[in-house]
Structure 1
């Protein structure tokens, strides 16, 4: 007999709402970049956008668990690993939470477009598409070798770009004008998100193959995928120096270089052993360090 309701603990795991605050740091980077490069103005539109991001984040995570449960070919994954099968959750209840979060984000998104322009709507629409089709369809994105790249760009770049735009919005502005600069500024976040997904897929390779997922790791092989993760992690810190040199970031972001010894130590552990339970959390903490401290240091430098 399936459970019709959700406990707080089940909702916590199903929605992965505990990861939502990371989106707030991405928004903070966009606002801080706006202030540093020309001056930012906080507005109701930024508040609305924040609510959209959080509600859609919850919706996508619930949807991913739902679709992973439906698409699972491995019975152990379906009944032991996935929370829906493990806790015998009602699919009707799961769908109800998903649709509620989707309706909230869609209504707020429609309002935001009405207050700005269709280009914001276009970027938002692309983000909605990537979020929903990450785990849905005949060829879901999470089963393709482009999953890490597309997801990282949608979260790390698009959210930063729209936040920047809303913080500096005037009706005569062109969002495309800022895309090149914001691409460089958001790159540390994009790479960190890419690495999180890559490390996750490295650890899940043996589980993904029976479930028909052919991610980037499947094509590269574990050794090359690990080397790619190591290279991008080091490059991320070197890129901070480039940003300061190009005057796209305040000098305070260079304080993040102090974390490099810790990062290298964590990468060494992961290179030796790739395990979801023991070494993946180390990579997750390492990448989260950049995703949290980089926006904070940028914010401090832009306002000080």
Structure 2
């Protein structure tokens, strides 16, 4: 069955024992992972990772692991990420069991088909809960930050919550980690709540260099070839590792894809842009003018492939990242 993302929180904080598979799809990967983490905490379970490739080659693995009884009585959560259409046979085999000992959470790739066979099957099955995420507006992000802050024992005013959400670039998982850091520093808890102030956030918040990791990707997607070349020199001289830069670029591509989809479906551009942080609107509008939905999807797949290569193979990371960014910049510049 399918559940709206706005109502998903309670279902993951107090999971129904009858649900065997929690399927998370949609472009907002940080919200999906946040829900999966809530589920892990609610179940008191240990996370056991598995990939689509493994389930494709061993379709019975999921059923075997889900049915296995722990020797020591501890609980586990089978965590599939990134999940793709190829896990459907494994899911069907697991659901065919008379009973299971462990639940499964599957986080779909943001480029997966919205109405693929896995989603269609999941929406109709009573033992599957499917939640499709969408990017939160800034107002919604502020609400989530304030709710998470309360859970950490922090009292946060709305303007400061907006700052935290903006510095996290809308990534609620990152915002949660920041709040946990602030709570630890202030010795705050739900039993002894503390006020979070601007000084603490300024001293301990996301480092400015970290916040600027997305600048190279934004220059590339805006077609600013010359400025990007200068930025790459700065990144290289500063010893910045390529993976964080690519992660920031992937978040931007996912965000742009969601905005482009809404515009292509007929929404007014000014209405779509209301959910974008005011300071970022000119840059986001510039990027959207240069990228269609299919080209954004291709760019995301290309960057994702490069990230896997950098993680698994000894390739010269900064050079490969620079070449990829320049290719994107030239493609964007050609659309002016």
More strand by share: 2
Same fold per superposition (TM over 0.5)? no
TM-score, normalization by structure 2 = 0.29
Higher relative contact order (CA 8 A, sep 6+): 1
Bigger radius of gyration: 2
TM-score, normalization by structure 1 = 0.31
